[in-house]
A = this chain, B = another copy of it.
């Protein structure tokens, strides 16, 4: 327990496995589990009933993930809500806000000051820039890139699986360029690119790449004006 700073405010019934490192002024809720090898920076707050630092499980119909020797890293000044699950091999940057019931997979990087909303899900091998907002119940699929300042509205859905399970082939999620905004409940197809500062309306189904600085809406997405 020598790697846990004496200033930590620890809830009741917490489970802190071996090799966990906890910085200064950290607050941890009740019934929260920090699994082996998790690193928690200074001034982090974590809610109750969370499970952090999960090692991926697999079955024969799911992808095996790459070697994941690294634990979960949660950098300083970050807030993690209640009932959250986060995997090993992921890095949550400084000053990030993770809402309650969110879930974040392995091999994800979330940039400084971003927000992952309530019950939002971020799948594996995904890179999220700085100051992004991912709203409530949004689904960021695996193998996705969000540049800085991207806004993902509530209930947005993405896919990385063009052939819907007819493996093997390459999985590839969307690439969303700096400052783009995706309206609530929009659907993004595998491998598409949304251009810089472009806007996708609520409920839009995006089937092709969208250029920079345009607004699109409809099923399938068409440029407005």
Contact = CB atoms under 8 A, between A and B. Distances in A.
Interface of A: 11-13, 15, 29-31, 33, 45, 47-51, 54, 57-62, 79, 81-83, 85, 95-97, 100-101, 103, 105, 113, 115, 118-119, 121, 123, 131, 133, 136-137, 139, 141, 151, 153-155, 157-159, 161, 164-165, 181, 183-185, 187, 189, 199, 201-203, 205, 207, 218-219
A213 to B, nearest CB: 15
B184 A157 contact: yes
Contacts of A15: 11-13, 30-31, 48
A157 B96 CA distance: 25
A183 B164 contact: yes
Given A51-B29, A203-B187, A121 B103 contact: no
Most buried by B among A29, A119, A133: A119
A164 B181 contact: yes
5 tightest A-B CB contacts, nearest first:
A203-B205, A155-B157, A157-B185, A187-B203, A185-B187
A54 B47 contact: yes
Binding site secondary structure of chain A: loop
B189 A202 contact: yes
13 contacts: A15-B48, A30-B33, A51-B100, A61-B113, A83-B83, A85-B100, A101-B103, A105-B118, A151-B164, A153-B164, A159-B183, A164-B183, A185-B187
Contact of A29 (B33, B118, B121): B33
Most buried by B among A96, A97, A159: A159
A184 B203 contact: no
Contacts of A202: 157, 159, 187, 189, 205, 207
A139 to B, nearest CB: 5
B97 A81 contact: no
Nearest to A182: B164
A110 B100 CA distance: 20
A133 B61 contact: yes
A11 B103 CA distance: 21
A123 B103 contact: no
A174 to B, nearest CB: 11
